[in-house]
Structure 1
Amino acid sequence: MGQLLLVDSRKLDGFEGLHQAVHGSHVDVMQLGRGRLRGSLSHVGIGDFSLSIGTFSVGMRTQRVSSDDKLIIGMLLAAEERVTHWSFDMRLNDVLVIPPLLEHDGIFHGASAYAAMRFDINEVASLFGGEARLSNPETWRRRDHFRADPDSGAIAAHRLVRIMSHLRTYRSGLTPSTADFWKRSIVECMAANVMSSLPPDDTGWLPSARRLIRRVEEYLDEAGTRPVHVSEICAALGVSRRTLHRAFQEVFGLGPVSFLRHKRLCAVHSILHESVPGSTTVAAVAMQQGFYELGRFSQYYHAMFGERPSQTLGGRTVSRLRVQPSGCEL
């Protein structure tokens, strides 16, 4: 009897779709760039093993809490602008390791594409067989970054996309042997970049900027939903406005004032996106998030998301493909 091959493929119409950026793992997301987010997200599941490939058209901030007990290994497939994960500056086809039960923080400054595989860390001994270092689970228990060789990295990324494309149209159940073959084929693409990796150059001010940003976000979490002024943050943390501005520019490419406004706009978008028309009003939600000049709020909102707040509250029909266990899409 064939093993189930689970396939899910959909178009993205809003940043909320990226909450499932990695199959089986919830990701918190915040839109940083301006414009209506467009993109796609595809998942392939082979038993407990999964491969996800996503694309999106505007800058995003992604965070994942330390509740996932699986190993995630990702590859950057495309990026129009800077991409950072923790304090690692990513280049095309670089590989990122997110160990089990570890918080993750990534920033995409523009349109990007990624691939991520997720599986039990105890499987590395069999999936990476033949490479002593890679088949040792301890190798993958710390966050890491592998700099891809330009030539071999491009080949590995191309193969990974081809494999996903093939499996998305695969119409037969997988036998245990074919399931193992496809898992190994996916893993090999990531492993090729790890084995040929170049030493990363992660010097610079980014790590200390990250630490300051973490302190700011902890302060914002304690403040709850009330609006917080930049001067309050500077006074509470004992930093100058100039230092704070430099840190936010280094990490996000935005000043702290713009970042706080983006954060509140994303909160409004999510509330409106999930609300039933008639259950609330745009004005009420905007006021809750600290927007008191509704005319200016509407301008900010339209510039950020490419639509009016009332359109978000009115609801959008997002077409999703129905999926059969065989992977046949209807």
Structure 2
Amino acid sequence: MPASAIRVFDDIDDYTTSIRAGQYEAVIAGRGSFEAKLVRIDLQRLWMQRFTENLPHIARAATSPSRAIVMFTTSPTAPISWGGRDVTADVVVRVGIGQEAFHCTRGPAQWASLSLPVDDYFATAAALTHHDVQWKSDGLAVRPSAEALARLRSLHAAAGALAEHAPAVLANAETARCLEQEIIAAMIASSTEAAEEDKVSVRQHQAILRRFRTLIAANADNPLYLPEICTALGVSVRTLQRCCHEQLGVSPLRYLWLRRMNMARRALTASSPGQDTVTAIASRYGFWELGRFATAYRSLFGEAPSTTLHRVL
């Protein structure tokens, strides 16, 4: 049954848990109050999503092993990367099936994704292209023709406009079937052309970041610090810095600081004044100078930590 939904968010955790075909854990990487909009369209086999975000963030993502996912930008936007690959205006990224990767935006961003069941994608691609499509486990950047990418963007935008302004039209089974067929054809055409090969150094750095993500996942509720990370990964600080700058757009120290700040914000949101204090929570996540913590927190999130703690949910 075709369906669509439009949601707006002011909490990044609520936003990331609403994204289809993957699991995301994100930290806000820019100053201000977070705002995002998610347009979600489910046809028969095809799932589509359109994303609008006002702040940069770094997300540790794990995609579904049952969906073949393609992503691209929808308008001129701040730099976006997936697994160390820049998602530029002329590129479509075939996300690795069941891939774990960092997804980073470096400013206000508008992007989109669409996915098919894995078997459906390969069967349809074989039918339309008459050759077997190779899908790398860690994803691949594809540079399609300008015409193919423009058609994909146009059809995806049309579906988004229907979801926002005429959802009853989109819910019609025959309309949805016709639109789905057109978009699937555009998806295949844009994601099976001119794949770009990765350099050896890129693959090596991706392997280090995979171990980095695994370490973070194993310590989801615990702050981590640079010395213990480098020791656990068996890499130098300089190597980890290169990897993080390439794939996250920030230094490892900056990422770890942002992670701890976001962990503190989640703890403040989940607590109440009678149960916990700002000082106790800040100290728990490695912020021992309360004045500096409060200033940095206000700068990053647009409010004092005490305001977050006292907010009635």
Fold match (TM-score > 0.5): yes
CA gap of 1:214–1:25, structure 2 versus 1, over 3 A, is closer
Distance 1:235 1:199, change over 3 A: closer
Distance 1:176 1:149 in 2: 31
5+ long unaligned stretches in structure 2: none
The answer for the alignment partner of 1:19 in structure 2 is 16
Instruction: State how far apart, in whole Å, the 2-side matches of 1:125 and 1:68 are.
Output: 14
For the residues of structure 1 that align with 2:275 and 2:180, how far apart are their CA atoms?
46
1:327 alignment counterpart: none
Equivalent runs, 1:216-227 vs 2, <5 Å: 216-220=212-216, 225=221, 227=223
Which amino acid in the other structure matches residue 20 of structure 2? H
In structure 2, the residue matched to 1:191 is: 188
The answer to whether the 8 Å contact 1:34/1:304 transfers is yes
Counterpart Cα distance in 2 of 1:104 and 1:170 = 33
| Distance (whole Å) between structure 2 residues aligned to residue 126 and residue 239 of structure 1 | 42
User: Unaligned regions of 5+ residues in structure 1, if any?
Assistant: 318-330
Superposed displacement of residue 305, structure 1:
1.9
The 1:182/1:271 distance shift into structure 2, 3 A limit, reads farther
Q: Specify which of 33, 36, 39 is matched with residue 33 of structure 2.
A: 36
Equivalent residue, structure 1, for 2:298: 302
Report SS of the residue matched to 2:250. Answer: coil
In the aligned structure 2, how far is the partner of 1:256 from the partner of 1:141? 27
1:164 aligns with 2:141: no
- Of structures 1 and 2, the one scoring higher in RCO (CA 8 A, sep 6+) is 1
Please report how far the alpha carbon of residue 60 of structure 1 lies from its aligned counterpart in structure 2 after TM superposition: 1.9
Structure 2 counterpart SS, 1:171 = helix
Q: State the AA in 1 paired with 2:145.
A: D
Measured against aligned partners, the alpha-carbon deviations of 1:245-299 in whole angstroms (never above 9, x if no partner) come to 3332222222222211101111122233344565433333222212111111112
- CA RMSD between the two structures: 3.2
Secondary structure of the structure 1 residue equivalent to 2:294:
helix
Shift in alpha-carbon separation, 1:191–1:61, aligned structure 2, 3 A: same
2:208 maps to which of 212, 231, 256:
212
The reply to whether residue 110 of structure 1 matches residue 103 of structure 2 is no
1:69 alignment counterpart: 66
**Cα distance, 1:141–1:217 mapped onto 2, change above 3 Å:** closer
Q: Given the alignment of the two structures, is residue 90 of structure 1 paired with residue 87 of structure 2, yes or no?
A: yes
| Aligned 8 A contact 1:74 1:95 in 2 | yes
CA gap of 1:103–1:78, structure 2 versus 1, over 3 A, is same
Are the aligned partners of 1:75 and 1:95 in contact in 2 as well (CA < 8 Å)? Answer: yes
Tell me the secondary structure at the aligned position of residue 292 of structure 1: coil
Candidates 137, 142, 147, aligned match of 2:143: 147
Q: Give the structure-1-normalised TM-score.
A: 0.79
Which residue in 1 is equivalent to 2:243?
247
Distance 1:276 1:184, change over 3 A: farther
Sequence identity (%): 21
Aligned residue in 2 for 1:53: 50
- The one-letter code of the counterpart of 1:257 is L
Superposed displacement of residue 315, structure 1: 4.2
Q: Which residue of 1 aligns with 2:118?
A: 121
> Given the superposition, is the C-alpha separation of residues 74 and 82 from structure 1 closer, same or farther in structure 2, using an over 3 Å criterion?
same
